């Protein structure tokens, strides 16, 4: 099959990679450079903790379990690190929330458990957690370098014989008939058997050209980075720390295999637009409160990033009913989900499979 994949972020590159492995003739287009969209602004946490409802948790968790296989297939250093999410709370109310959450996740068979202060200190000797009302670890969770993973996958697509065209925006798409589609680019049009739309926030605009409505809302987010630091976080892949004062949300902190520490505020979906140096300095100061070794780090603001965000926050995956050879792959938590989406989309496109696990995530739920 000849397939055009529009968008070379973590999601589009994973789909293009798996399609190429299976022998499809792939053309991968990106309007900019691969991996430089939302995937480059991401905290890039691989997790399912706190993700609901259950079928969404299950999807994330399956993908989490697929990441090792994906990394093995890519066969390069993509900064994948495991160790688990370490969460602790400082108030009785939040402790109740954490205990209930862990109990629910355990009942779903998710690897998570409550730990005491002694174990918390053993796991992270450099951590000064302050008042601890409850603590938990979900040992399965990890993180990765989002841009690097996308760029390696793109390289593999080329090595497998695919065509990669950077700085080549798809301008439109058309269904010519008999299952044949064309994608318009500046230099002309590319004929193919199926189009995969994985252009992140731009999916809505491009789908509209083909008469397909993909509802999304704007979801700006901000992470802060530091200069590369010696190892500060010993074993956990992510620390999820309580607010220092009532007027501030919680923070999450990770250290990449490149030594860079990343800090985010609130939850993975929190809306934020302040990408100023002052904000970055404040966030770093809050992280240093818990990790004193960070006091010598320098805060590097990252420009605000826009999460691809379907209106109901659940992924939109699969062929559309109105344009049968148009496959949509639009999702938040795309770093976590990319390896599974890559494999599932490939089976649906090349084998004609219909994966029932994806049924809750079809576009048609909006109609
Ligand atoms: C602040 C922030 C924190 C996040 N934290 C996490 C996290 O911890 N864990 C997690 O799993 N997820 C997280 N996410 C979400 C995750 O980053 C995204 O879901 C994921 O990166 C989406 O990947 P994508 O490939 O779909 O989109 P993108 O990475 O945006 O890639 C889309 C690509 O399409 C290209 N494109 C656009 N228009 C066109 C066109 N017309 N023609 C050709 N190409 C086009 C763009 O140039 C871009 O390269 C976070 C996101 C943000 C912003």
Q: How many angstroms is it from 344 CA to the middle of ligand 1?
A: 19
Ligand 1 mean position, distance from CA 21 (Å): 23
Alpha carbon 347 to chain centroid distance? Answer: 21
Task: Specify if 70 maps to a domain.
Answer: no
Do 299 and 170 reside in the same domain of the chain? no
CB-ligand 1 contact for 60 (6 Å cutoff): no
Distance, in Å, from the CA atom of 72 to the CA atom of 54, rounded to the nearest integer, reads 28
- Whether 118 maps to a domain, the answer reads yes
Task: Give the pLDDT score at 177.
Answer: 65
Measured in Å, residue 200 CA sits from the centre of ligand 1 at 5
Q: In this structure, is residue 331 part of a structural domain?
A: yes
Residue nearest (by alpha carbon) to ligand 1 atom 50: 42
Share of the chain above pLDDT 90, in %: 93
Which among 272, 306, 340 is the end of a domain?
306
Which of 306, 338, 357 is where one domain is finished? 306
Rg (CA), the chain: 21
Q: Which whole-number Å values give the CA distances from 342 to 43, 147, 251, 347, in the listed order?
A: 20, 16, 30, 9
Instruction: Say which residue, 3 or 176, is predicted with more confidence.
Output: 3
pLDDT tens for each residue of 48-85: 998 999 999 999 999 999 999 999 999 999 999 999 99
| Confidence bin at 320 (pLDDT 50/70/90) | very high
Q: Is 170 in the pocket of ligand 1 (CB under 6 A)?
A: yes
- How many domains in the chain? 2
**64 lies in some domain:** no
**92 in the same domain as 135:** yes
Question: Is residue 159 domain-shared with residue 203, that is, in the same domain?
Answer: yes
pLDDT at 176 over 90: no
Pocket test for ligand 1, best of 33, 334, 337 (most atoms within 8 A of CB): 334
**234 falls within a domain:** yes
Q: How far is the CA of 59 from the centre of ligand 1 (A)?
A: 18
pLDDT tens, residue by residue, 205-248: 999 999 999 999 999 999 999 999 999 999 999 999 999 988 88
Cβ of residue 144 lying under 6 Å from some atom of ligand 1: no
Please check whether residues 230 and 359 belong to one and the same domain. no
The predicted pLDDT at position 295 comes to 94
Residue 242, in any domain of the structure: yes
Q: Are residues 229 and 283 in the same domain?
A: yes
* Same domain, yes or no: 26 and 158: yes
Average pLDDT over the chain reads 96
Same domain, 228 and 124: yes
Give a yes or no: residue 60 inside a domain: no
Same structural domain for residues 254 and 209?
no
Cα of 340 vs centre of ligand 1, distance in Å, is: 16
DSSP state of 211: T
Dihedral sign, CA of 287, 292, 295, 300?
negative
At 80 the three-state DSSP class reads coil
Boundary-marking domain end, from 273, 306, 339 = 306
Query: Does residue 107 sit within a domain?
Result: yes
Statement to judge: residues 121 and 231 lie in one domain: yes
Instruction: Answer whether 45 contacts ligand 1 (Cβ < 6 A).
Output: yes
- How deeply is 188 buried, as exposed, middle or buried, from its count of CB atoms within 10 A (0-12, 13-18, 19+)? exposed
331 within ligand 1 shell (Cβ under 6 A): yes
Looking at the structure, do residues 163 and 241 belong to the same domain, yes or no?
Answer: no
Same domain, 128 and 226: yes
Instruction: Say whether pLDDT at 175 is over 90.
Output: no
- How far is the centre of ligand 1, averaged over its atoms, from the C-alpha of 177 (Å)? 31
- Identify which of 15, 27, 33, 39 to mutate to test ligand 1's pocket (most ligand atoms within 8 A of the CB): 39
Whether this prediction's pTM lies above 0.85 is answered by: yes
Pair 203, 226 in one domain = no
- Where in the sequence is the domain holding 300, given as residue range(s)? 85-139+220-306
At residue 47, the 3 state secondary structure works out as: coil
Go through 54-78 and write b for each residue having 16 or more CB atoms within 10 A of its CB, e for each that does not: eebbbbbbbbbebbeebbeebeeeb
CATH number of the domain at 283, please.
3.30.9.10
| Domain CATH number, residue 360 | 3.50.50.60
Residue 367 confidence class, pLDDT cut points 50, 70, 90: confident
Q: Is the peptide bond between 53 and the residue preceding it cis, with omega within 30 degrees of 0? A: yes
Distance (Å) from CA 230 to ligand 1 centroid: 29
């Amino acid at each position: 099959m000849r397939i055009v994949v529009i968008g070379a972020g973590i999601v589009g590159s994973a789909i293009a990679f798996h399609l190429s492995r299976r022998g499809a003739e792939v053309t991968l287009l990106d309007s900019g450079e691969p991996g430089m969209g939302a995937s480059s602004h991401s905290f890039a946490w691989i997790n399912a903790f706190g993700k609901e409802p259950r079928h969404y948790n299950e999807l994330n968790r399956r993908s989490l379990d697929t990441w090792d296989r994906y990394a093995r297939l890519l066969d390069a250093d993509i900064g994948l690190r495991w160790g688990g999410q370490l969460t602790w709370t400082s108030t009785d109310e939040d402790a109740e929330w954490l205990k209930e959450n862990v109990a629910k996740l355990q009942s779903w068979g998710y690897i998570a458990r409550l730990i005491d202060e002694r174990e918390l200190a053993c796991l992270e000797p450099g951590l000064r957690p302050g008042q601890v009302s409850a603590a938990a670890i979900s040992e399965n969770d990890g993180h990765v370098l989002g841009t690097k993973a996308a760029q390696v996958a793109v390289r593999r697509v080329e090595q497998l014989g695919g065509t990669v065209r950077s700085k080549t925006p798809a301008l439109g798409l058309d269904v010519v008939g008999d299952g044949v589609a064309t994608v318009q680019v500046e230099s002309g049009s590319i004929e193919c058997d199926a189009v995969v739309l994985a252009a992140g926030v731009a999916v809505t605009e491009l789908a509209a050209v083909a008469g397909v409505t993909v509802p999304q809302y704007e979801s700006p987010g901000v992470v802060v980075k530091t200069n590369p630091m010696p190892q500060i976080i010993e074993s956990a892949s992510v620390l999820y720390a309580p607010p220092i004062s009532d007027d501030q949300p919680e923070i999450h902190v990770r250290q990449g295999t490149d030594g860079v520490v990343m800090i985010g505020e609130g939850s993975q979906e929190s809306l934020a637009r302040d990408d100023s140096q002052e904000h970055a300095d404040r966030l770093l100061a809050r992280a240093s409160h818990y990790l004193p070794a960070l006091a010598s780090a320098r805060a590097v603001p990252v420009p605000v990033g826009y999460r691809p965000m379907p209106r109901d926050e659940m992924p939109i995956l699969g062929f559309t009913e109105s344009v049968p050879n148009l496959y949509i792959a639009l999702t938040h938590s795309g770093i976590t989900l990319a390896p599974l989406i890559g494999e599932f989309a490939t089976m649906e496109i090349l084998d004609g499979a219909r994966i029932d696990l994806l049924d809750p995530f079809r576009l048609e739920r909006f109609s």
